[in-house]
Structures are given as structure tokens and as C-alpha cells.
Structure 1
Amino acid sequence: MTIRLLTLLGATATILASALSAHAQTALKWAHVYETSEPFHTESVWAAEEIAKRTEGRYKIDVFPASQLGKEADINQGLKLGTVDIIISGSSFAARDHAPIGVTYFPYIFRDPAHMIAYTKSDVFKRLAAGYEEASGNHITAVTYYGTRHTTSNRPIAKCADMQGLKMRVPDVPAYLAMPRACGANTTPIAFAEVYLALQNGTVEAQENPLTTIEAKKFFEVQKHIVLTGHIVDHLNTVVSKNLWSQLSDADKQIFTEVMQEAAVRATKIIEEREKELVATFKERGIEVTEVDRADFEKTVNEKVKLEDFGYNKEDWEAIRAIK
């Protein structure tokens, strides 16, 4: 009888220990819209594994790439609904909750990627991120360089006025539209998946994206010119949901932040290296790669587009421009 009781107690203890162990591990969902080959995914997977290591397995994070949990608007909404815990997303979506943070998409606000990274360490970034957190409850832990947006076209472009009447695909985001429209282009918001075909059949004759995207989506196959307009130095935020962030201990918040920032640095380095290589690669393929007078583009945008029309604050724009 005693042996049976001890056996039963031992089995019960094992079950309880197993249950407690399972309970101690928190399962989380990390979502984004990028392909598995892109650094935004590979470094997210690295971060998920690194967080598990540094928290001794208390968090199990599954990364869902390529819009598996929805398009970018869906996963942003998912932070509020509780269907996702962590996302990578652009500030244009954060601006839907707090318009001023979208000022970073205003054309030519950043000189180069180094300027954008310096901004992420500045007081103005902290203020804008805090405004977003107050409005949404979600917390931005890190910022990754996405790439500098350039123009491809079947028409040669050297200055802003050369874009007059150009049929150009641009995402339907106000700040993305600012430069093309200021230069007189006729913009249209064709779905991203349909851009190659639209360029091929002449529905549009131009588009804009970072060099890495131009390469990945093979837009260079159906465009004669790559024009280095450099109008937006683009970036992505790593965002933790209000629900998750509020439940993390201070020690875990530090771990999540440190790891996500390390992942952002790793991904940023990969993108910068790829961009440097691609200019030469495109030239080798016989594509006309054109440097433009960016000062001409910037002057036209500033003359024709008002920051306030986008809900941005001029003091934020000035503070960012002043960062060295």
C-alpha cells in the first residue's frame, strides 16, 4: 500500500512539475510581411532564439513571415486584438495612431542612413515614440534601416521637372506621394504584387523602391533607367504590443530591448552592404544608373508640399534635420 501511494505521489509530482514548466514558458507570435530570405526575417528569427536563450527558455517566440498573419495593416491591428505580440512595421502605420511620428517619411528629411540611425538615438525620436506609445499603448523597441528609396523609369530623369506627366506607381501613403506629385508625376497605387506586370505592359512607366527591392522583384528587367533620387531613407520599427510589454518584468524588458536592437543593427548592416554592391551590379547588367541633382528635388518638394498637410510638426522636422 505504501509503495503504491509513493508511486502515485511521485507520478502526481511529475505531472505537476511538467505542468508548471509548461506554464512557465510563454508562447509569443512575431509577425511581418517580408520574405524569408530578407534580413528582416532572418534577424527576427535570430532575435527570437536569442531571447529564449537569455531568458532561460521562459519565452518561445514563433516568427511568421510573408504576411502569414495578415498584411501590414492587419498585423498592426493584431497588436490591439491580441492576435500578435511583436511586429516589424513602418512608421507610416504607427502614424495612423500618432501622426507626428510619420514625419520621418517626409522626402529628404534624412541625409543618409547614418543620419536616420542617429535620429533613433535622439531626444526627438524618444518624444515621437513616446507619443505613439501613449496613443496606442504599444512600445517601439528598435528601428532597422529598410533602404533608401529610388526611382526606376522608362524615361530618363535628371531633374525634378523631368517627371512631369510620368505615369508612376507609388504606395498609397501620403508622404510617399509627396515627391512624385511635387515633381508633376501622375501617381497610381497599384498593388505591390502587380507592379512588375504593370511596368511590363505599360500601365505605368515608373515606380520607386529601395535598390534591394528593385533587385528582389526584378523591376530592372522591365525598366530602362534606375534614377538615384534617394527621396526617402526608409526604416522599420520593431513594436511590442501593449499587452505583452505591460506583463514583462523590468529585467525582461531590458533583454527584449537589447536583443531587438542588436537584431536591428545586424539587419541594417546587411541592407547597407547589399545597396553598395547593387549599383555596380545594375551597371554591369547594362541598366542606366543616373545620379540626379537631389537639391533640385528637395527644393521643389519644400516649395510645393506643406508639412502641416500631413499632420507633421515643423519643430520635429527641424530637430531631425539638425541632428549630426
Structure 2
Amino acid sequence: MKRMLFVLSVLLIGTGVLFAAGAQESSAGKPVELVYTMTAVPTDAHAGAMRVFKETVERVSGGQIKVLTYDSASLFKQEQEVSAVKSGQADMTATAAPWLTDGSPWVSMFTAGYIFKSYDHMTTVLNGEVGKQVFDRIAKEQGIRPLGAQYLGTRQLNLVEDRHIKTPADLKGVNLRMPNSDAWLFLGRALGANPTPISFSELYMALQTKTVDGQDNPLPSTKNAKFFEVTKSITLTNHLVDSVWPAINEAKWQSLTSQQQEWVMEGVRAGVEYCDTTNLKAEAELVQFFRDAGLSVYEADVDAFSEHVLAQYLNSDFSKTWNLEFFEKVQAAAK
């Protein structure tokens, strides 16, 4: 009897081991899928960075992670992307600080005009230890985790009419398109304009029909979206060293093994390098491109803009939510 029980136990244990091994094999055999969505058009550098991310992750993971990419707002409009990732309708998106202020008001610090002095300042902060602390806190508060910062370019003014904007006073009454979030709209007001919320995918038509008087974007975005076809002037204000943050659903991130997370981060780093290099090169060449296309390109009084814009933020409710420790670290990184 004892012998029969022993044999039966061995058989049951063996069956359990085989079942578990089979389950692990099945799980390992099915690749993890990441649905990555963004508003950018295919010619934008951060859309290219998404493709680099896909190629890198699928290659280094040996096909264990499959990335499904969607650009041009083909899945979600710009205003829907963050909520789609938070809810798990998508796994990843390319977002930015202004889209994360509702859930983390202190993030508005990174939306302030002239908060970063240069590209080097921005990438040192956001792709360094400060950025890691910022992104960890956002993940805990909102369930979406930024993984890095790609240089989108430095935002400049682009108007339908040929107008030289020297100071914020020159923007009085100008209907300036801004993305539809409180943080973006405040930036428009801080610049001195009348901010008008319009989705990026609808902006070309809004400029063409003069629904708005202008828009602000980095020069590469203005070229890639062909806004220069329906506008007449650009004023170099350098008002926001802009970055886009590849971000992932936090529950999805935590479901990945440490090895899978490292593969994802390898893709993020490759995407950052591609995006930054592409946009820095483009910015160096685009002023002449726009002049050749018939646009007037003007220089603003950047000191006047910087003083006015930062004063607007420091005297607003936005600054009351800022994390002073992070703010001091950001300022120190510029020195």
C-alpha cells in the first residue's frame, strides 16, 4: 500500500512538473506585444525614433518582444493618448510634460517657458538622475511611466501673416494655436497671445483657413507637417526647449521581467540618440530652408520674452505646485 502511494505521489509530482514546464514554455514562446501610438507624422524625428525603438527591441529580445507602431493619430488623437495608455488601451505613447500635469500638477514646472536654457541642459536633467526621480514619481501617481526624453526641438513662433514679433506685447490679440491642455494654454497666455486649442492633426487646415493666426512648434515639426506652406513668417523666440517622453503603462512595465525591461530601455536609448541627432542637425539647416521657401525669419528679443514668461509662471497657481527640490536641481544643472 505504501509503495502504491509512493508511486502515485511520484507520478503526480512528475505530472505537475511537466505541466509547469509546459506552461513556462508556452509563455516564453508567445512574444510580449507593445502597442505604441503617437500623433507624429512619419517624417517627424520622434516617429522615426519609434521605428528605431521597434527595430532595436525586437532585435535585442530575439523576437520575444513585438512592437506594434501607429503614427499620425491613427489610433488616438493627441488629447486621448495619455488616457489610452493609462487605461491599457495602448501600451506606449510619446507624451510630454504638459499632458501629465492633470495627474501630477507639480510637473507643470517642466512646461514653463525658458525652464531649460539649452538642449544640453534639458537632456542632462531629464535623461539623468533627476529625470529618473521625476519619472518614478509620475509612475506612482498616474500609472504611466516616462522612460526618457527625446529632443523635439526648440519651439518658435510661426504666423500666417508676415509679422516680426519682438516682445510679448506684439502678440496681443494673436490667436495662437496651442495643444488642448491647461499647461499648454497657460504657456500661450504667458507668451502674450490668445491661446486657441486645436489638435495637431487639425492644425494645417486651421492655419490654411486662418482659423488661427499662428502656431508654435520646433522648426523640424513645422517643416515635417508642412505648416510652412500656409504661413508667412517665423520668429525665433526659443521659448521652450521641447522634449517628448516615450512612456509606458505602469502595470505593463511591472509585468515585464528585469531582462525585458532592459531590452525596452535599450530601445529607448537608441530612439533618444536617433531623435536628438536628427533634430539637432535639422535645426541647424532649417532657417535657410524656410527663407528659401519664401518665409520671413525674424529674431525676437529673447531676454524680454524670458523675463516676461518666467514672471507669469512664478506669479501663477502653477508655481505653487512645483517641487522646489526638483526646481533647484534643474537650475543647478544649467551652471
AA at the equivalent of 1:167: N
Corresponding residue of 1:212: 220
For structure 2, the 5+ residue unaligned runs are 1-21
Question: How far is 1:261 from its partner?
Answer: 1.4
Moved more, 25-34 or 287-296: 25-34
For 1:270 and 1:68, the matched residues in 2 are separated by 24
Corresponding residue of 1:24: 30
Corresponding residue to 1:141 among 127, 144, 147: 147
* Structure 2 contact 78–199 (Cα < 8 Å) conserved: no
Question: How far is 1:173 from its partner?
Answer: 2.9
Corresponding residue to 2:323 among 305, 313, 316: 313
For 1:266 and 1:28, the matched residues in 2 are separated by 20
Q: Which structure 1 residue ranges, 4+ long, deviate > 6 Å from structure 2?
A: none
Corresponding residue of 1:7: none
Corresponding residue of 1:33: 39
Q: 1:165 to 1:74 in 2, by over 3 A?
A: closer
For 2:68 and 2:104, the matched residues in 1 are separated by 28
Q: 1:307 to 1:242 in 2, by over 3 A?
A: farther
Corresponding residue of 1:244: 252
* Structure 1 contact 107–178 (Cα < 8 Å) conserved: no
Corresponding residue of 1:12: none
* Structure 2 contact 52–267 (Cα < 8 Å) conserved: no
Question: How far is 1:174 from its partner?
Answer: 3.2
AA at the equivalent of 1:258: E
Moved more, 202-211 or 269-278: 202-211
For structure 1, the 5+ residue unaligned runs are 1-15
For 1:164 and 1:43, the matched residues in 2 are separated by 37
Question: How far is 1:109 from its partner?
Answer: 0.6
- Considering only aligned residues, what root-mean-square deviation do their CA atoms show, in Å? 2.4
Q: 1:294 to 1:26 in 2, by over 3 A?
A: same
Secondary structure, counterpart of 2:241 in structure 1: strand
- 1:127 equivalenced with 2:133 (yes/no): yes
For 1:183 and 1:101, the matched residues in 2 are separated by 19
Matches within 5 A, 1:276-295: 276-295=284-303
Q: 1:188 to 1:41 in 2, by over 3 A?
A: closer
Question: How far is 1:183 from its partner?
Answer: 4.7
Corresponding residue of 2:13: none
Corresponding residue to 1:182 among 175, 190, 203: 190
Corresponding residue to 1:260 among 264, 268, 275: 268
Question: How far is 1:269 from its partner?
Answer: 0.8
Corresponding residue to 1:76 among 82, 94, 100: 82
Question: How far is 1:146 from its partner?
Answer: 1.1
Question: How far is 1:225 from its partner?
Answer: 1.9
* Structure 1 contact 107–175 (Cα < 8 Å) conserved: no
Corresponding residue of 2:60: 54
CA offsets per residue over residues 63-108 of structure 1, 9 Å max, x none? 1222222123433222233222222212222222222223211000
For 1:123 and 1:308, the matched residues in 2 are separated by 28
Secondary structure, counterpart of 1:305 in structure 2: helix
CA offsets per residue over residues 96-134 of structure 1, 9 Å max, x none? 222222321100011121211111134432222121011
Q: 1:187 to 1:53 in 2, by over 3 A?
A: closer
Corresponding residue of 1:167: 175
Percent same amino acid among aligned pairs? 28
AA at the equivalent of 1:321: Q
Question: How far is 1:23 from its partner?
Answer: 4.0
For 2:80 and 2:298, the matched residues in 1 are separated by 37
